[in-house]
Amino acid sequence: MAHTLFTSRLGGVSSPPFDSFNLAAHVGDEPVAVTRNREILAAMIGLPRNRIFFMTQVHGNVVAVIDQNSDPEVAPPADALFTTLPGVALVTLIADCTPLLLKSEKAVAAVHIGRKGLVAEVLEATLKVFNEHGVSNQEITGEIGPSICSGCYEVDLDTYREVVSRNPAAATDETSRCLDVAGGVAARLKGAGIEFRRSDLCVRHTPGYFSYRRDEITGRQAGVVWL
Ligand SMILES: [Zn+2]
């Protein structure tokens, strides 16, 4: 059976501007605070700290498969983590991007999708790994966690057009030039025949969440999935 969790910025030990439940090691927060927060996360999900895997997110389409030989101290450069191992938690870290958790009886994945990942098709790359491990799209369900909303994510016109040309569901209008990345993810899930739930919380204008667009120097919340 698969489990999921989305964290907020509440419940950790980090000081401002990372207050308080920052789970990212790359944003300038005190390493000792991040370590403590990751221990708190481990306690929340009831797994040892060394059974929780993070990735070095690069806005690409690489899927890292976590197996018996994977080292929890190494965060592979990837934007999706996949495993068939029970008792192994996979983490996607976000401040504005869309956290997507995919689960089935036999395998789970944590995916990080911003506008670049949407264009790079990291979602499709992850589904391919499920399929290669004998899990069909019909056996997978998805959860889209809190991310930046379509009213808050303005980009330049070229970027807007590039993303929307391949992802019509990410469109708002060219006057606002705001992208609906989560809407684009939702449309692609629908197109792949995957049932999903979608949070309607915006991290930029909902208190209690980290938002890079709002604060620039800030922490990261997490989406976590495990069997
Ligand atoms: Zn918003």
Residue 34 covered by a domain: yes
Tens digits of per-residue pLDDT, 22-63? 999 999 999 999 999 999 999 999 999 999 999 999 999 999
179 C-alpha vs ligand 1 centroid, how far in Å?
11
In a domain, 44, yes or no: yes
Which protein residues have their CB within 5 A of the ion that is ligand 1?
Answer: 149, 151-152, 202, 204-205
Q: Give strand pairing partners of 141.
A: 103, 195
CA of residue 160 to ligand 1 center, whole Å = 17
- Position 108 scores a pLDDT of 98
| Alpha carbon of 148 to ligand 1 centroid (Å) | 5
Count the alpha carbons within 13 Å of 45 in the hemisphere toward its beta carbon: 28
Q: Side chain identity at 136, as an amino acid letter?
A: S
> Is position 110 within any domain?
yes
Is residue 213 included in any domain, yes or no?
A: yes
CA of 35 to the centre of ligand 1 (A): 30
Q: Which residues partner with 211 through β-bridges?
A: none
Is position 177 within any domain? no
Ligand 1 center from residue 211 Cα (angstroms): 10
Range of the domain at 74: 3-147+198-226
- Residue 137 C-alpha to ligand 1 middle, in angstroms? 30
Task: Please work out, in degrees rounded to the nearest 5, the angle formed at the alpha carbon of residue 86 by the alpha carbons of 81 and 87.
Answer: 85
Tell me whether residue 172 is in a domain. no
So what's the pLDDT on residue 213? 94
**pLDDT of 26:** 95
Residue 3 confidence (pLDDT): 98
pLDDT at 215: 95
Q: Is residue 61 part of a domain?
A: yes
Q: Hey, what are 104's tokens?
A: 């089935």
Distance 67 CA to ligand 1 centre (A): 37
Q: What is the CATH number of the domain that holds 129?
A: 3.60.140.10
Tell whether 158 is covered by a domain.
Answer: no
Q: Using alpha carbons, select from 143, 134, 109 the residue that is nearest to residue 225.
A: 109
The model's pTM: 0.97
pLDDT for the residue 85: 98
Distance 65 CA to ligand 1 centre (A): 33
What is the number of structural domains in the chain?
Answer: 1
Residues of the chain with pLDDT under 50: none
Ligand 1 center from residue 180 Cα (angstroms): 10
- How far does CA 134 lie from the centroid of its chain? 23
Measured in angstroms, how far is the CA atom of residue 129 from the centroid of ligand 1? 32
